[in-house]
Amino acid sequence: MKQLIKNILPAAGLILALGISSCTKDLDVTPLDPNLSTEVSPEGLFNKCYATIAMAGNGGGNGDCDIDGIDGGTSGYIRQMWNANELPTDEAINGWGDDGIEQSCFNTYDESHPMLNGYFARLTTSITYCNQYLNIAADYDATMTAEVRFLRALHYYLLMDAFGRVPFAENLSDPVIFSREEIFKWIEKELKEIEPNLSAPKAKKSTDTNYGRVDKAAAWLLLARLYLNAEVYTGTARWSDAATYAKKVMDSDYRLNTTSVNGWTAYQMLFMGDNGESDAAYEGIFPILCDGLKTTSWGTTQFLCAGSFDSDMHANPNDLNGTNGLSGQVWGGNRARPTLIQKFFPNLDAPQVPAYEMIAAAGDDRAIFDGVGRELNNIDRATFKNGYAVAKFINYKSDGTPGHDATFMDADFFFFRTAEAYLTFAEATARQGSGSATPEGIAAINALRARAHATQRTGYSLNDILDEWSREFYFEGRRRMDLVRFGQFGGNVSYKWQWKGGTYAGRNFDAYRNIYAIPASQLSTYNNEQNPGY
């Protein structure tokens, strides 16, 4: 697939700032019109640094994609992050015939994988937006600059997590290749440097000023995630640091949502059409704003909702003529692997009932699965009803009415949730000691289970904690990272799931696949040095 990555080079950065699309074969491009004004609004560039996570381009859901060679819906930031971190794991499988989907589901991806090429493109393009803002407006506003530096650090983190070595530049200059350890140190330093200029950690709803903008709590949680995975990235564990920064988030103004409304559970409300307006918003440390009229996208919560439903599903017991709170947006693609269902039903005896009845059967509000007319096993990847459906993301509001647009989602995507700090703290403190949760760690996990009305437990092993990561965060775009950290992804491991490695029974695949191949189109930037194994 021919795909232009509008990357970290100076001329390309200028073109991005001007909103011009280019379709040249390489990155040595120039403005199309020499008389074109190059004045750029700092506020506009600042907004674009955020908008690149929510939208594929400047034209809403259907046009002006920032990435050439891949359509706007497919190239969405959250959609590609989700594909990279869910489809190769024990949680999700997809039945579509799109290029690269089967390879992701079967762990056979390589340097020509179009979706991973798109993910690389989206991250590096987003870095360019940040570098362009910092090049033009670094002195414009200290808080805005700190936020853009945070966003850039987040993009570099995800790039490093997925691809290992990264092309690195802090300005509009030719990038150099950083190792994982080098980019780890840079991200750590960057987040600590910007913390004083970020706003105080304050839980907000969409009606509050600065909702959707990051503050100190986002930096703390990204540091906690960085440290939790430090041993994978650098070879040196940083459990104490992970616990410290997770606790800062736990002690902040952000909090777990424990408020249920009109029969919707507190957990469900985190993923509904009015999650920015309800108390659920107080858990969302970095909400990616979605509005069915103003910020339309096929790639954020739209993908997470529509891609997981078919027309036979009904998420709202009071609206059996509806499906997911959208009209006709039932794409029938992503559904659960049996190993995800087994986290809630250890004997794989989940009933064939709608999602609103499944949570009672599981004794856990987080088991938002639809089993009506469905086969538990993924016998055929291409058959949507081979696998229980996931009804976690919906566009119904807590009063039971659908969102204010029939086609596009209102539900924001909580990139960071306070719950992550609780599990990070529990895991990090367990790893510092005997490998079992400490009393404080047990309390943190039990707080999440209490919110879900799940049975309280008196102890948790590391394997139990890994399962809790899945129960709390399935289908939120992070599972691959957790399996790698626990040594349960690539390599000679004991844990298997259906279609792991490309066979129905599941088989191991090589450990080098714990990171992805550098896209073939980008190898010249890496002096043609591919990641080992590919």
pTM higher than the cut 0.85? yes
pLDDT value for 38: 55
Strand partners, 64: none
Q: Judge contact between 308 and 391, C-beta under 8 A.
A: yes
For 514, list phi and psi in degrees, rounded to 5: -65, -20
pLDDT value for 65: 83
Strand 176-178 and strand 389-390: the pairing is unpaired
* Consecutive H or E run containing 16: helix 10-18
Residue at 155: amino acid letter:
H
Give the tokens for residue 127: 């870095």
Q: Judge contact between 48 and 125, C-beta under 8 A.
A: no
Strand 413-414 and strand 287-288: the pairing is antiparallel
Cα 82 to the center of its chain, rounded Å: 5
Rounded Cα distance between 275 and 387, Å, is 28
- The Cα angle at residue 474 between residues 472 and 478, in degrees rounded to 5: 105
Rounded Cα distance between 408 and 232, Å, is 38
Q: Judge contact between 61 and 296, C-beta under 8 A.
A: yes
Rounded Cα distance between 100 and 84, Å, is 11
- How many of the other CB atoms lie within 10 Å of CB of 196? 9
Q: What is the pLDDT along the chain (534 residues), one digit of tens a residue?
A: 323 333 332 323 323 332 322 222 222 323 334 444 457 789 999 999 999 999 988 876 665 788 877 777 788 999 999 999 999 999 999 999 998 999 999 999 999 999 999 999 999 999 999 999 999 999 999 999 999 999 999 999 999 999 999 999 998 889 999 999 999 999 999 999 999 999 999 999 999 999 999 999 999 999 999 999 999 999 999 999 999 999 999 999 999 999 999 999 999 999 999 999 999 999 999 999 999 998 888 999 999 999 999 999 999 999 999 999 999 999 999 999 999 999 999 999 999 999 999 999 999 999 999 999 999 999 999 999 999 999 999 999 999 999 999 999 999 999 999 999 999 999 999 999 989 999 999 999 999 999 999 999 999 999 999 999 999 999 999 999 999 999 999 999 999 999 999 999 999 999 999 999 999 999 999 999 999 999
* Neighbouring residues of 103: CB distance < 8 A, sequence distance ≥ 6: 109, 110, 113
Q: What is the SS3 assignment for 492-533?
A: CCCCCCCCHHHCCCCCCCCHHHHCCCCCHHHHHHHCCCCCCC
- The CA distances from residue 162 to 149, 286, 514, in Å, are 20, 21, 8
Rounded Cα distance between 387 and 378, Å, is 5
pLDDT value for 53: 96
Task: Report the candidate in 68, 17, 22 with the shortest Cα–Cα distance to residue 40.
Answer: 17
Rounded Cα distance between 383 and 367, Å, is 22
b/e per residue 119-129 (b: at least 16 CB within 10 A): bbbbbbbbbbb
Rounded Cα distance between 152 and 169, Å, is 10
Rounded Cα distance between 398 and 269, Å, is 7
- How many of the other CB atoms lie within 10 Å of CB of 461? 13
Rounded Cα distance between 137 and 251, Å, is 33
* Neighbouring residues of 226: CB distance < 8 A, sequence distance ≥ 6: 157, 184, 187, 188, 191, 233
Residue at 302: amino acid letter:
Q
Where in 307-367 does DSSP place strands (E)? 334-336
- The CA distances from residue 469 to 43, 338, 422, 452, 465, in Å, are 37, 16, 10, 14, 6
- The CA distances from residue 48 to 45, 51, 224, 303, in Å, are 5, 5, 26, 21
b/e per residue 30-66 (b: at least 16 CB within 10 A): eeeeeeeeeebebeebbebbbbbbbbbbeebbeeebb
Rounded Cα distance between 385 and 62, Å, is 29
- Count Cα neighbours of 241 within 13 Å in the Cβ-side half-sphere: 16
CA torsion sign for 407, 47, 83, 528 is positive
pLDDT value for 16: 33
For 389, list phi and psi in degrees, rounded to 5: -85, 155
CA torsion sign for 76, 80, 83, 85 is negative
- Count Cα neighbours of 61 within 13 Å in the Cβ-side half-sphere: 18
